[in-house]
Structure 1
Amino acid sequence: MIEIKIQRKNDKIVHFEIRGHANSSEYGQDIVCAAISSVSQMTLNGLLEVLKFKNLKYEEKEGYIICDLENSDLTEDEREKAFILTESMYKYIEEVAKAYKKYVKLTIKEVGK
């Protein structure tokens, strides 16, 4: 199962963690895993390669991505741009999680104001 934890502060994503594998099909045929991997990689690459965030706190390895926007040294403008990417990622993940409840667990937590 893929476990996705999203933290929001003032309705904006400040932290996300994605771990595990869906195991909904054999390796290379798993559309659930491919969907979540693609959208999370696209978001992280957007933050790093398109927006060129130099001070982003993140970790990425096989079956695991964590991104800590809250504790990254970002300007207010960078935070607003990150919001667009992360909210787009969230909307996609939300739909995948609804369609594939057996394989994706999505948890959203509101943190300090």
Structure 2
Amino acid sequence: MIRVAIQQTSDGKIMSFTMKGHANFAEHGQDIVCAGASAVSFGTINAILQLTKIKPRIDQSSDGGYLRFTVPEQLPKDVEEKVQLLLQGMVISLQTIERDYGKYIHITFS
């Protein structure tokens, strides 16, 4: 199962997210849940990097079973708003996958 943990501030801003595990929906290369979650998360990270030019902390394992993205502190307000909008879009997309494939992906908020 893919476990996604979204860490938020007290006012609901996303500070970081962590994805761990493998969906095991199908064989490697055929797993649409894994492919979908990966496309959404890496697409979001790439969009943030390209559109905001921030330097977040990104940690990942070589086997693809771990990804952590941390938003830098004290961003300019306009940049922070863009980052938050993109991250909120990612969460909505992941929740859509979770709704249809809840046995294979689970999202938590803290």
Please confirm whether the aligned pair reaches a TM-score higher than 0.5, indicating the same fold: yes
Aligned residues: 107
Whether the 8 Å contact between 1:8 and 1:15 is mirrored in structure 2 is yes
- Alignment pair present for 1:100 and 2:97: no
Flag as ranges the 4+ runs of structure 1 deviating above 6 A: none
Q: Which residue of 2 aligns with 1:23?
A: 24
Q: Mind listing any 5+ residue stretches in structure 1 that lack a counterpart?
A: none
TM-score normalised by L of structure 2: 0.88
Aligned runs of 1:51-90 on 2, under 5 Å? 51-53=52-54, 55-61=55-61, 62-69=64-71, 71-90=72-91
Q: Mind listing any 5+ residue stretches in structure 2 that lack a counterpart?
A: none
- CA displacement, residues 17-55 of structure 1 (integer Å, 9 cap, x when unaligned): 1111101001111000000000000011111223211x3
Per the TM alignment, residue 73 of structure 1 is displaced from its structure 2 partner at its CA by: 4.9
Q: Which residue of 1 aligns with 2:4?
A: 4
How large is the RMSD of aligned CA atoms in angstroms? Answer: 1.4
Q: Distance in 2 between the 1:75 and 1:58 partners?
A: 20
Using the aligned pairs only, state the percent identity. Answer: 36
The AA in structure 2 aligned to 1:12 is K
Per the TM alignment, residue 11 of structure 1 is displaced from its structure 2 partner at its CA by: 1.9
